[in-house]
Amino acid sequence: MKNKPLIIILTLFLIAAAIFIVGRMGRSDLTEEIEMRLSSYDEKQAVQIAGEPLLSSEEIKAFYAERDFEEIWSENGKINSLAENFLEEIDHVKYDGLNPEDYNQILIQEFFEEIEGKRKILKPKSTPELVDLEFLMTDAFLRLSKDLEVGKVAPNSRGSYWKLAAKESKINSQDLLEEVADGLDIQKALASLYPEIEMYTKGREVIQSLYEKSQDDTLSWKPVSFEHSLKVGDTHASVPGLRDRLKFWGYLGAYEVKDPLLFDSTMWKGLKSYQLENGMNPDGAIGELTADFLNDSPEKLIEIASVNLERMRWIPEIKWEEELVLVNIANYQLDYMNNGDTTLSAKVIVGKEYNESPVFTAPMSYIVFSPYWNIPPSITHDEIIPSVRKNGDYLREKNMEVVSNSGEVLNPKQVNWTGKEGADFPYRIRQKPGGSNSLGLVKFMFPNDYNIYIHDTPARSLFARESRALSHGCIRIQYPDLFAEALLKDKKWTKERIQEAMHKEQEEVVKLDREIPVLLLYLTFWTDESGNAHFRPDIYHRDTELIKKLKAPLKTESKQRS
């Protein structure tokens, strides 16, 4: 019994030794090599493959240390099925509008070939190439998972127009990779990172179909333009090429053409369908806008779709299934959504190119019927003051008045208009309520830093235009009375009462009983519920710059993240 403590200590030692030996026996040659390789780098050194540092080096070191340096992408000296599946998924990121080469695709393929080539000569064993492949694929997964979740382009590179807060990551890439290593399907793992917007997954399908379509493309996409619109019965050297493009996109079937240069009635019918699908007036004439659209090859449409999928990845969490006012600036359309359904759609007029409407979100809290229009200082400086100097009755003719800072209405003839410009002008100009008011008969307020709101307009004829970038930045709505009725949702606010409130001599402010999110987006591509693709003109020329950033080497963007 005297030796009992010694026996207990010896037993514990033997158990610990056995556990250690079993643990070491479970470690493969590759595990040892991974640990040795990573330990050769100090804290500040990046993991390097073929002399190139990996951008996720710190995460790679932490990830493998956490899992005791066990490999993921190979087994018993052989590339495993997980690695093969991931290589296929890397190729498929082109359907997300991303570049597979940003995720080590070429190097990984080279190592696949080299490792498989050696297996034909040597017995399976640990090789430096397998370790290189291990780090390359892990680096690719960690970076790709971040880009799929929050976007490739860094927040400070998205353009001054993008005012939405940067989307916060909710996924730990290392934890997700550990789940993949434990058996989670890698395709499902990557799909879990997509934006929670159905049109994103449908957009991927559109890009995939465009890639497939491009494989059968034998057309020349040389741009065509016209001095005058082409109408049925006109002849032009570009008609045969345009006819082929309508056939290529499925808007024309094969038919007998008597005169290839003639814009005939069959082509006219196909063109009208094409215009309708692409948000144009289906007038059957080939004007500038229609010609521009017909100039877009599958490759160009892939680029357009790609930049918009990237924008979708930037959008922070939005409760799409709840009440929401969505304005797509590029589509000139407002949709009022409730419980996931669109209950009202209306055409809108947006900012001119030099008064671009930004992308942002803010809660709508009140409606103003029969509003005054408080004219911004910039318009006062650029338009009102010069007009008053030329015409002393200008303000009366425009139903405007001068107001002091205390709210007193002044006689414009007692105001010194000479030399009083812009910020130095000590008064406000406002337009009184009425049918000629530039805000129309009602405005919908969602206070924001950009002084933008939704309002009516007396210029109703402008909604018939195809291109409606015409305002100073605010959003003019086609059906303001129906929009007010939908928002108020109150039996007291009948159609008659709304009309009465819209035609008063004094404005009436009505506070909503809840705050309604308003989201202004800029999407030149999206899909509808059926998965149909919709493309729109890039009215603010924002796509081109984003295409360049998406195609830029990922290293550039990585430096901007840090």
**pLDDT tens string 217-232:** 999 999 988 888 999 9
Spatial separation of the C-alpha atoms in residues 242 and 221, rounded to whole Å: 9
Residue for token pair 């109150």: 490
Q: Which of 186, 182, 184 is nearest to 84 (CA)?
A: 186
The neighbouring-strand residues paired with 366 are 445, 511
Query: Which band of pLDDT confidence, cut at 50, 70 and 90, is reported for residue 27?
Result: low
For the ranges 352-356, 419-423, 439-443, the one whose mean pLDDT is highest: 439-443
Provide the whole-model pTM: 0.88
Which pLDDT score, from 0 to 100, does residue 417 have?
85
Q: In the predicted model, what is the mean pLDDT of residues 125-148?
A: 92
- Interhelix angle 128-150/81-92, nearest 10 degrees: 40
Q: pLDDT higher for 424 or 162?
A: 162
Q: pLDDT higher for 15 or 543?
A: 543
Q: In the predicted model, what is the mean pLDDT of residues 465-475?
A: 92
Counting residues of the chain whose pLDDT is more than 90, the rounded percentage is: 76
pLDDT tops 50 at residue 21:
no
Spatial separation of the C-alpha atoms in residues 128 and 105, rounded to whole Å: 19
Cα 516 to chain centroid distance, Å, stands at: 22
C-alpha distances out from residue 107 to 83, 104, 279, 399, Å: 13, 5, 43, 70
Which pLDDT score, from 0 to 100, does residue 11 have?
54
pLDDT tops 80 at residue 560:
no
Which pLDDT score, from 0 to 100, does residue 319 have?
87
Query: Which band of pLDDT confidence, cut at 50, 70 and 90, is reported for residue 125?
Result: low
Q: Quick one: CA dihedral 316, 322, 325, 326, positive or negative?
A: positive
Which pLDDT score, from 0 to 100, does residue 152 have?
96
Query: Which band of pLDDT confidence, cut at 50, 70 and 90, is reported for residue 16?
Result: very low
List CB contacts of 561: < 8 A, sequence separation 6 or more.
154
Which pLDDT score, from 0 to 100, does residue 558 have?
41
As a whole number of Å, the CA-based R_g of the chain is 32
pLDDT tops 50 at residue 18:
no
Which pLDDT score, from 0 to 100, does residue 115 have?
84
| 8 A C-beta contact, residue 270 and residue 251 | yes
Cα 186 to chain centroid distance, Å, stands at: 25
Which pLDDT score, from 0 to 100, does residue 396 have?
93
Q: pLDDT higher for 379 or 365?
A: 365
Task: Concatenate the DSSP letters of all residues of 414-477 into one string.
Answer: GS--TT--GGG--SEEEEPSSTT-TTTTEEEE---TT---EE--S-GGGGGSS--EEESSSEEE
| 8 A C-beta contact, residue 355 and residue 161 | no
Which pLDDT score, from 0 to 100, does residue 9 have?
58
Task: Concatenate the DSSP letters of all residues of 466-504 into one string.
Answer: S--EEESSSEEES-HHHHHHHHH--TTS-HHHHHHHTT-
Spatial separation of the C-alpha atoms in residues 93 and 552, rounded to whole Å: 16
**Around Cβ 539, how many Cβ atoms within 10 Å?**
21
Poorest-pLDDT segment among 152-161, 192-201, 371-380:
371-380
pLDDT tops 70 at residue 195:
yes
List CB contacts of 155: < 8 A, sequence separation 6 or more.
166, 314
Q: Quick one: CA dihedral 509, 515, 520, 525, positive or negative?
A: negative
pLDDT tops 50 at residue 443:
yes
Q: How many residues does the chain have?
A: 562
Q: In the predicted model, what is the mean pLDDT of residues 429-458?
A: 95
Helix (H, G, I), strand (E, B) or coil at 287: coil
Q: In the predicted model, what is the mean pLDDT of residues 458-477?
A: 93
Cα 73 to chain centroid distance, Å, stands at: 33
Query: For residue range 246-265, what is the model confidence (pLDDT) as tens digits?
Result: 999 999 999 999 999 999 99
HEC string of 130-190 equals HHHHHHHHHHHHHHHHHHHHHCCCCHHHCCCCECCCCCCCCCCHHHHHHHHHCCCCHHHHH
Query: For residue range 165-176, what is the model confidence (pLDDT) as tens digits?
Result: 999 999 999 999
Query: For residue range 268-316, what is the model confidence (pLDDT) as tens digits?
Result: 999 999 999 898 999 999 998 999 999 999 999 999 999 999 999 999 9
Query: Which band of pLDDT confidence, cut at 50, 70 and 90, is reported for residue 26?
Result: very low
Average pLDDT over the chain, rounded to an integer: 90
Strand 428-431 with 409-410, pairing = unpaired
Alpha helix (H) residue ranges in 234-383: 239-248, 265-277, 288-294, 298-314, 377-379
Q: In the predicted model, what is the mean pLDDT of residues 400-417?
A: 90
Strand 469-471 with 341-351, pairing = parallel
Amino acid in the structure at residue 420 = K
- Which two three-digit tokens encode residue 102? 């940003």
